[in-house]
């Protein structure tokens, strides 16, 4: 693993509209009665907004092919292309979010990424300085101070 960044910080207000999207999505994520499917979809939305607030450029979301789906394809501020797998959890009952990215999932993501790169080879907006696979582990639950629920992102760069 390259590095881990954990935050629940306020996003950079210089990005176009990151705060309102992030805050609205966090409020929806923290609702106690949402379905697991909705939790996953909102988790992907939240991470995409969070990455944008950190200066990343999201190029694609939920890109599908015969090998599966790429949750987020983005350029980080250093122009490295990151294939970001998002895992969202409300509790640790089933382990940490990042533990859900098993070997078979990693293999499918690698194959899907090759197809994505091949399809976008001529796209000037996608020029990059290398490719890596990150995992965004999103935990939704009570704040450390015991207050209301909040979302916390752990970005594991170069996770596999």
Q: So what's the pLDDT on residue 91?
A: 87
| Long-range CB contacts (within 8 A, 24+) of 71-77 | 71/44, 71/47, 72/44, 72/47, 72/48, 72/136, 73/116, 74/48, 75/126, 75/128
CATH number at residue 10: 3.40.1350.10
Q: So what's the pLDDT on residue 100?
A: 94
Q: So what's the pLDDT on residue 18?
A: 55
Average confidence (pLDDT) per 10 residues, the chain, 160 residues: 43 51 93 93 97 96 97 96 96 90 97 96 83 97 78 96
Structural domain boundaries, residue 102: 3-157
Question: Domain tally for the chain?
Answer: 1
| DSSP helix, strand, coil percent of the chain (3-state; round to 5) | 35, 30, 35
CB 135 within 8 A of CB 87: yes
Whole-number Å distance between alpha carbons of 40 and 83: 17
Q: So what's the pLDDT on residue 10?
A: 36
């Amino acid at each position: 693993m390259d590095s881990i960044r954990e935050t629940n910080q306020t996003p950079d207000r210089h990005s176009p509209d990151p705060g309102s999207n992030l805050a609205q999505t966090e409020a929806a994520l923290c609702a106690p009665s949402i379905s697991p499917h909705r939790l996953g979809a909102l988790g992907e939305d939240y991470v995409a907004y969070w990455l944008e607030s950190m200066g990343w450029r999201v190029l694609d979301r939920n890109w599908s092919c015969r090998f599966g789906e790429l949750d987020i394809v983005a350029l980080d501020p250093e122009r490295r292309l990151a294939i970001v797998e998002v895992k969202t959890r409300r509790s640790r009952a089933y382990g940490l979010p990042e533990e859900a990215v098993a070997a078979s999932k990693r293999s499918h993501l690698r194959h899907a990424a090759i197809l994505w790169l091949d399809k976008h080879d001529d796209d000037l907006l996608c020029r990059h300085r290398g490719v890596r696979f990150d995992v965004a582990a999103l935990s939704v639950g009570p704040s450390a101070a015991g207050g209301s629920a909040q979302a916390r992102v752990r970005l594991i760069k170069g996770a596999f």
